[in-house]
Amino acid sequence: MAEKENKNGSPGNGSPENGMGLFDLIGLAFVDLYKGILVIPSVLRSLRFAVWVLIILAIMGLIGAILPQEHLSHDLAEFGEKYANLFDVIPGDGQLSTGEFIYYGLIVPFDLYDVFRSGLFFTLAVVLGISSVLCAWDRLKIGRVLLSKTRPVVSEKTITGMSSSVEINLDDNAEKSAEKTRKLLKRRGFQIFEEMGDSGTAYIFTRKNSFRHAISAMFHFAFVLVILGLIIGNERVAGYGDHMILGEGDTKLIGQELHRQAEAEAAGQAYEPNEDVLIQLVDYENVYREGYFDGLDEQTGMPIGYHGDPSDYVSHLRIVRPVGDGEYEVIKERMVEMNKPLRYGGVTYYQSAYDYIMHFTITAPGQQPIPAATTLGRPMSIPSLGLNVTVEVWDIAGGKWVAEDGTESELPYVIRLVDYSHQGHGGGAVLLGYITEDTYLELDGTRITLDSIEEYSVIQYRHDPSVPVFYTGSFLLLIGLTIALYFPYRTGRVMIRPDGNKSVLVAGGSWPDFTEILEKNLPGGSSEKG
């Protein structure tokens, strides 16, 4: 409408001073908006648009791969340490450094510190999904047209317009040459569509792997399934998960009940159990296998070697139903290790970590013994010595030792107490000594006895209904990609015209090999490439 007015010489630039009222303006805005909305489907089904979205997602992904991803406070005073170092942020200095400018100008507005959970990333993924569906649908339509009875035109012009073309003088007459060409192409798996011209000229349109368009559509739909899987599995949509800490002999709520309990608490409602089954940790064990370590340490008798981790972490888990008097009926049982999870009721339980609570008695000279407890890597205070000692992970064993010949034996717990208080202040870590269960370590008259060790297994649980969707999408995507890329759609056009007793073949193909096939396999004289 505005265009028309301008063409008619009206000055209207849309301002009320030029004779347009407010309602006219609103009307025009709606017209423009409507036109804009009409454009959206064509933009979405444009492959170019999809590729741009793909590139933006790739750039965001690259940033997400490089930048530590954690939800940070926008307040400089609570700024994450890694980001502070990375962007040279000095809280409270009142100056804006280049790093701070990048952070506040780029990282914060686009949520790049938490890219994969940002609204922008989610929106772009959805847009890419929609765009892929539309593009795939269009591919399917193109495929249907190609497979229809209407054949593309074969002429000298369309032949020479193809990516490679050739003209070959053949010794046989046109009829015989056409027959040989047909046989050759059929042998190579081509479909042939032929028309004869008035002057005895044969026009052949040929194609190979025409199923490729349907396959192309299929794997684009499959890609959408993959994206859909990622969306469904998101904890904001249908997935859930957390971890549970189980001590040996502990019996706790199963994953789905823990989730229901958390949901009820969040909603301020009373939790009522849905299922009467529980999860139980019968035993947890670190397994050390000979061959995974250089050998046993002479001083401690513990395995040492390439790295200090055990060969396996094994939780003996049971799904049980209480039957009264502290007795349980076992419903499912499994030794859960890395790569060997337990599955029950749509929830999967994985071995995630382990921990110990170590109970000590500290006896200072002339004082009453005091109990103390700590976990791995945490400092423990020894008041009589004025020390905070740390229990080292590296030297704690305790578990099963499996020799090369398969014989098993129990390894004792040996822990190392280290004083880190001088580290970074002109001193280093000070090894205070080793201690095993039921033995003690004496430091300046203070006796530290290791009384007992409680073993804990950290089990991760997760419910993800998207797994079948994701796997189906991935499988179809791969199959489709492989077929489409290794068996590409090929077309060729051939025109064979009489030339006295001989004939001339003019051919063009959508890829260079097509003309080479004809040149090598048809007996003839000179050929001229286009």
Total number of residues shown for the chain: 530
> At 355, phi and psi to the nearest 5?
-155, 165
Q: What is the DSSP string of 148-213?
A: SSPPPP--HHHHHTSSEEEEEEESS-HHHHHHHHHHHHHHTT-EEEEEE-TTS-EEEEEEE-TTHH
Given candidates 248, 309, 454, 499, which one binds other proteins under the rule CB under 8 A?
309
Verify binding: residue 303, other proteins, rule CB under 8 A: no
Q: Give the DSSP H or E segment for 446.
A: strand 446-463
Toward other proteins, which CB reaches closer, 384 or 472? 472
Q: What is the CA radius of gyration of the chain?
A: 37
Nearest one of 207, 459, 192 to 343, comparing CA atoms? 459
| Only segment of 285-293, 369-377, 390-398, 491-499 that touches other proteins (CB under 8 A) | 285-293
Residue closer to other proteins (CB basis): 50 or 391: 50
C-alpha–C-alpha distance, residues 236 and 464, integer Å: 12
Q: Is 58 in the site for other proteins (CB under 8 A)?
A: yes
> What's the min distance (Å) between Cβ of 199 and other proteins?
34
In sign, the C-alpha dihedral spanning 470, 472, 475, 481 is negative
Binder among 27, 291, 346, 383 for other proteins (CB under 8 A)? 291
Stretch in the footprint of other proteins (CB under 8 A) among 184-192, 315-323, 375-383, 465-473 = 465-473
Segment interacting with other proteins (CB under 8 A) among 185-193, 379-387, 431-439, 467-475: 467-475
Query: Cα separation of 525 and 205, whole Å?
Result: 23
Q: Which of residues 69-128 bind other proteins (CB under 8 A)?
A: 69, 82, 85-86, 115-116
Q: Which stretch binds other proteins (CB under 8 A): 36-44, 290-298, 376-384, 388-396?
A: 290-298
- Burial category of 516 from C-beta neighbours within 10 Å (exposed 0-12, middle 13-18, buried 19 and up): middle
Nearest distance from C-beta of residue 526 to other proteins, angstroms = 22
Handedness of CA 145, 146, 149, 150 (dihedral sign): positive
Sign of CA dihedral 323, 325, 326, 327: negative
**How far apart, in whole angstroms, are the C-alpha atoms of residue 493 and residue 164?**
11
Residues 341-370 that bind other proteins (CB under 8 A): 341, 348, 350, 352
Q: Residues 470 to 489: which contact other proteins by CB under 8 A?
A: 470-471, 474-475, 477-478, 481-482, 485-486, 488
350: CB partners within 8 A, 6+ apart? 336, 341, 459, 460, 461, 462
State in angstroms the smallest separation of the CB of 409 from other proteins: 19
Would you count residue 55 as binding other proteins (CB under 8 A)? Answer: yes
Nearest residue (CB) to other proteins, 416 versus 463:
463
Q: What is the closest distance, in whole angstroms, from the C-beta atom of residue 223 to other proteins in the complex?
A: 9
The CA distance from 132 to 50, in Å, is 7
Residue number with CB closer to other proteins (356 or 470): 470
Options 48, 71, 157, 520; binder of other proteins; rule CB under 8 A: 48
CB nearer to other proteins: pick between 139 and 182 = 139
Report which of 211, 215, 212, 217 is spatially closest to residue 140, judged by C-alpha positions: 217
Q: Which stretch binds other proteins (CB under 8 A): 62-70, 265-273, 321-329, 448-456?
A: 62-70
The verdict on 400 binding other proteins (CB under 8 A) reads: no
Residue from the set 101, 512, 523, 528 that interacts with other proteins by CB under 8 A = 512
Sequence-distant contacts of 238-243: CB under 8 A, at least 24 apart: 238/465, 238/466, 239/462, 239/463, 239/464, 239/465, 239/466, 240/462, 240/463, 241/460, 241/461, 241/462, 241/463, 241/464, 242/460, 242/461, 243/352, 243/458, 243/459, 243/460, 243/461
> Shortest gap between Cβ of 22 and other proteins (angstroms)?
45
Q: Fill in the per-residue mask, 221 to 250: x = in contact with other proteins (CB under 8 A), - = not in contact.
A: ---------x--x-------x---------
Assess 50 for contact with other proteins (CB under 8 A).
Answer: yes
The residue from 79, 284, 313, 344 that contacts other proteins (CB under 8 A) is 313
In this structure, what token pair is assigned to residue 120?
A: 């922008």
At residue 55, what is the residue type? I
Q: Nearer Cβ to other proteins, position 23 or 306?
A: 306
Q: Which two tokens stand for residue 485?
A: 């890329």
C-alpha span between 106 and 36 (Å, rounded) = 28
Residue 508 sits in the site that holds other proteins (CB under 8 A): no
**Three-class SS state of 526:** strand
Give the Cα separation of 285 and 85 in Å (integer): 40
Q: How many residues bind other proteins (CB under 8 A)?
A: 62
Nearer Cβ to other proteins, position 121 or 356? 121
Under the criterion CB under 8 A, does residue 419 sit at the interface with other proteins? Answer: no
Distance CA 335, CA 318 (A): 9
Residues that bind other proteins (CB under 8 A): 47-48, 50-51, 54-55, 57-58, 61-62, 64-66, 68-69, 82, 85-86, 115-116, 230, 233, 241, 289, 291-294, 305-307, 309-313, 337-341, 348, 350, 352, 460-462, 464, 467, 470-471, 474-475, 477-478, 481-482, 485-486, 488, 511-512
